[in-house]
Chain A
Amino acid sequence: MSVKRIEQKFADLKKQGRSALVTFTTAGDPDYETALNILNGLPAAGADIIELGMPFSDPMADGPAIQEASIRALSGGMTVIKTLQMVQDFRAQDQTTPIILMGYYNPIYIYGVDKFLADALATGVDGLIIVDLPPEEDVELAIPAKAVGMGCIHLATPTSDEARLDQILKNATGFLYYVSIAGITGTREPDLGPVKAAVDMIKNRADLPVAVGFGIKTPENVRAFAKIADAVVVGSAIVNIITDNIDQEGLANPELGSRVHDFVKTLSLRVGKI
């Protein structure tokens, strides 16, 4: 489908009067089957939107947890094509949960931007978050993506001032991802106050939903940030469960999938749960 699935999801959640839980896992971590099994169970466990990491050899914006996840996936033979295949496999049984691919530009550039956008839309990807493409490089991917209806989720950070926000918002679709700390994924915890001020500043300038992520780890964090943002992203804390459930040969514990899902249930923002 496309950015429309993201818009539909936020519209539905607005009716329910709650924010979205966004989960991050890496495609192919620790292996294709286990990663797909994790993916398939995420919506039932409480994930409203799924971010799927496209593994890259040099994940410059990621902390140790997601770096290792990338290495595990790549050493298991994960590729761009297999990542798209995984989305297609997931779509066979879920047509409503948006999937956003998150990663770095080089694998997409090498695959070919137009071909990638066509193949990704065909397999059921709804949006892209590419960390090393700031608005200055929108012409590379964001503008072609927008033209074909692929969501272009842009990042805003504590270093983005108001003038930059306008530039960031120019080609942003789907939602805006506010990076809650100046830093890498899975490291220090953000403070609520400054994040709220930043989210309010963004909301004053655009109709887009705002997601908050980086450093959000616990059910308490999720609930606190859900009060000030339209979506809350948890990544490294989930990936850490995968790390803790594989043996020295890299083989997954049979319980791995259910342990990930059990953790996601504790993060869920569904009504009746909180």
Chain B
Amino acid sequence: MTKNTYRSGPDIEGRFGKFGGRFVAETLMPLILDLEKAYEASKNDPSFTREFDDLLSEFVGRPSPLYFAERLTEQLGGAKIYFKREELNHTGAHKINNCIGQILLARRMGKDRIIAETGAGQHGVATATVCARFGMKCVVYMGEKDIERQKPNVFRMKLLGAEVVPVTCGSQSLKDAMNEAMRDWVANVDDTFYIIGTAAGPHPYPELVRDFQCVIGNETREQIMTKEGRLPDSLVACVGGGSNAIGLFHPFLDDDIDMYGVEAAGHGVDTDKHAASLTGGKPGVLHGNRTYLLMDDDGQIEEAHSISAGLDYPGIGPEHSWLHEAGRVKYVPVTDGEALKAFQLCTELEGIIPALESAHAIAYVMQLAPTLPTDHIMVMNLSGRGDKDIFTVAKALGAEI
């Protein structure tokens, strides 16, 4: 008998409760079944795990530190706050953990052409990086609007040898980049592997991306035991697709720990400019999975808005939808303005410039920590660094660079 656990999903149909699944064109079905087989085999192959672990330590620079944010803790005057420093990884975010895992799968499956979608460019850069490292051809789809607002990352990808294809259809942002990547995949089934950047898409992607990102939570568990001799009381992470959050949360789901996923509320969840799919959306089917989505009454997907390009997506990973309905994780909205304030506070107090995505998590820590006692231990995932965002922040603050 299986014990009562939040960690056993997905089932054999690729579902977390009613969420997830395999809503893809028939052309892609044999490919994702092959991927599922290859992934299952890799799990039982010690040489795969060894190579993954070696690359994470030697190429990515893991483990990432669990850092006591002393001045922020003092300033907020409540819970003791730790940052899981994913922004110190090679390429500056958690995205690389997943890319290492997926490119090893691609090689195992004999594929030598990699495609990816990207919003802010962090996943594109991480994908281009592993492609350079493994000598594979790399094509990254990116909305024309995002190419315009993330020029440094576009140039980085090109330096790494990737072809960056502008996507001009639809809203020209992340969801359209994903549509275009799927069109490429359907037309290049023989040699192409699609490295999806978040814990979403058709089964087995939500599962395998989560598993590759679980290194975040697994390390956190060991590190906090060393530092505090006990598990934390709460975890906080931002959620777009939700890969950094699920990577931190999943290893702790069966422990008595409060968890908060922070969604991008843009101009506010009561406006039409936000990206909070759990707070402001409803269940639907897009990009291979059933999950919460932003849409109109007729089932047409709506454009998301967030100051953070990495959270600017109208959906969320299916496991988060399930954890939301199960009540295991609390999902809360943070606006552009709140994230900007948190961005500044973290930079000034801790000497760390956070990604705007991670600044959403910090903003919620700022709300929550002061209400908690000083012996409450809180771990927040500092999922990415903010160098890429300085132009956006300068513009929002009315400064000139």
Contact surface of A with B, Cβ cutoff 8 Å: 56-61, 63-64, 67, 71, 74, 79-80, 104-111, 131-137, 154-161, 164, 168, 179, 181-184, 187
Please measure, in the bound complex, the distance between the C-alpha atom of A131 and the C-alpha atom of B288, giving whole angstroms: 11
Please tell me if B22 contacts chain A, counting CB pairs below 8 Å.
yes
Interface string of B175-208 (1 = CB under 8 A from A): 1100100110011110000000000000000000
Complex CA distance for A257 and B287, rounded to whole angstroms? 34
Q: How far is the CB of B290 from chain A (nearest CB, A)?
A: 8
A184 to B287, CA, bound (A): 15
CB distance from B245 to the nearest CB of A (A): 24
| In-complex Cβ contact of A61 among B31, B186, B286, B295 (8 A) | B186
The chain B residues found within 8 Å of chain A, CB to CB, are 13, 21-31, 169-170, 175-176, 179, 182-183, 186-189, 284-288, 290, 293, 295, 297-302
CA distance A123 to B175 in the complex (A): 33
The answer to whether A106 and B295 touch across the interface, beta carbons within 8 angstroms, is: yes
A-B contact count (CB 8 A): 117
Q: Which residue of B lies closest to A136 (CB)?
A: B22
Instruction: List 29 A–B pairs whose Cβ atoms lie within 8 Å, in order of A's numbering.
Output: A56-B300, A58-B179, A58-B286, A58-B301, A60-B287, A67-B169, A105-B23, A106-B293, A107-B298, A107-B299, A107-B300, A108-B299, A109-B290, A110-B284, A132-B23, A134-B23, A136-B22, A136-B29, A155-B26, A156-B26, A159-B28, A159-B31, A159-B189, A160-B26, A164-B29, A179-B27, A182-B186, A183-B186, A184-B187
Chain A nearest Cβ from B289, distance in angstroms: 10
CA distance A137 to B13 in the complex (A): 9
Inter-chain contact B29/A60, CB cutoff 8 Å:
no
B38: min CB distance to chain A, Å: 16
CA distance A265 to B102 in the complex (A): 50
Given A110-B295, A184-B186, decide whether A159 and B30 contact each other with a Cβ distance below 8 A.
yes
Which 8 residue pairs spanning A and B have beta carbons closest together? A110-B299, A107-B299, A183-B187, A157-B27, A57-B300, A134-B29, A106-B299, A57-B301
Q: How far is the CB of A80 from chain B (nearest CB, A)?
A: 6
With A183-B186, A184-B187: A106-B30 Cβ-Cβ less than 8 Å: no
Kindly list chain A residues whose C-beta atoms are within 8 Å of the C-beta of B28: 159
Q: Which of A71, A133, A158, A181 sits near B23, CB closer than 8 Å?
A: A133
Least Cβ distance of B203 to chain A in Å?
Answer: 9
Of the candidates A67, A110, A181, A184, the one having the most CB atoms from chain B within 10 angstroms of its own CB is: A110
**Do residues B299 and A58 form an inter-chain contact, with CB atoms below 8 A?**
no
